[in-house]
């Protein structure tokens, strides 16, 4: 993923959210059993809440021309890693 982002012509971000699982990035945790393995340690709703907040911040920046400090936006959620393709480095 890092190599793909580094080759991109525009800025891109890859967010890694500890405590999430593959299914967290879908609506599956809402209907799956609330066990950590399939839904992640953050549970059925917290992972989706973080993803929604970050997505809204990105969309506001792109579609509404509102400057967004993505690393700042994500930092309130703990140890999130952001790969900034413009700077070609990971930020925490």
Per-residue model confidence as pLDDT tens digits over 5-64: 777 776 667 777 888 888 888 888 777 776 667 778 888 888 889 888 888 988 888 788
For residues 60-80, average pLDDT: 77
The structural domains of the chain, with segments of one domain joined by +, span 2-91
pTM: 0.69
For residues 67-87, average pLDDT: 71
Quickly state the pLDDT bin for 1 (edges 50, 70, 90).
confident
Which pair of tokens denotes residue 5? 């982002």
* Cα 5 from Cα 1, distance rounded (Å): 6
Look at phi and psi of residue 43 and say left if phi exceeds 0, alpha if psi is from -120 to 50, else beta: left
pLDDT at 89: 67
């Amino acid at each position: 993923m890092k190599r793909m982002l580094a080759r991109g012509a525009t800025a891109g971000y890859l967010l890694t959210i500890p405590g999430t699982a593959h299914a967290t990035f879908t609506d599956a945790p809402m209907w799956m059993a609330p066990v950590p393995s399939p839904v992640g340690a953050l549970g059925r709703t917290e992972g989706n809440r973080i993803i929604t907040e970050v997505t809204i911040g990105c969309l506001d920046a792109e579609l509404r021309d509102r400057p967004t400090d993505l690393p700042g936006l994500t930092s309130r959620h703990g140890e999130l890693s952001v790969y900034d393709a413009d700077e070609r480095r990971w930020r925490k």
